Structure 1
Amino acid sequence: MFDPTIIIAAAALTGLLIVAAAMLRGWHDWLELKRSELEGHSGPRAEEGSSMGAARIEIADLKERIKKLEAIASGVDL
């Protein structure tokens, strides 16, 4: 009744539509995530706690850089 080529083409088109719909849904959810991050409602990352640990690491890194620059300025080879 139906030509096998038409059946294969219809199945391929149906599969393509399903994949395209899934990718569109993923794109929409990703955009919503980025919007919420920009608004400051970061969602899953809000449970990580405060950023005091990151600030301490950054301060320690800056202190280390200052020590290296002072050593370079005084002529000490590290």
Structure 2
Amino acid sequence: MDQQIVLAATSLTAIAIVAFATLRGWQGWLALKEHELERGVNHLRERHSGPETGSALGAARIEISDLKERIRKLEAIASGVDL
């Protein structure tokens, strides 16, 4: 009976250590990805901002809205709706 309690306590401790290490790794990975996203956005702002070039983010949004409009038109053509 004594050995079972020691084994159970050891197993529980090992599971807790593995869970804690996994959680720390996950948080670190999320922080890394957040840092990469911030760095990418800041890099784009530095590279493409200015009075003569305009905002790269604004241009990207316009391009995305144009693509969405094209998709809507293609879907309408495919379904037989007259624009």
Q: Tell me the TM-score normalized by structure 1.
A: 0.52
Aligned twin of 1:11:
11
1:2-48 Cα offsets, whole Å, 9 max, x none, are 5211110000000110111111101000000000100016xxxxxxx
Partner residue, 1:34: 34
Q: Which amino acid aligns with 2:27?
A: W
Q: How many residues align?
A: 49
Could you tell me which amino acid in structure 2 is paired with residue 24 of structure 1? Answer: R
The two structures, once aligned, show a CA RMSD in angstroms of 2.6
Q: In the aligned structure 1, how far is the partner of 2:4 from the partner of 2:35?
A: 46
The two structures have a TM-score, normalised by structure 2, of: 0.49
Highest relative contact order (Cα 8 Å, sep 6+), 1 or 2? 2
Unmatched runs of 5 consecutive residues or more in structure 2: 42-58, 70-83
Q: Could you tell me which runs of 5 or more consecutive residues in structure 1 were left unpaired when the two chains were aligned.
A: 42-49, 61-78
What letter is aligned with 1:12? L
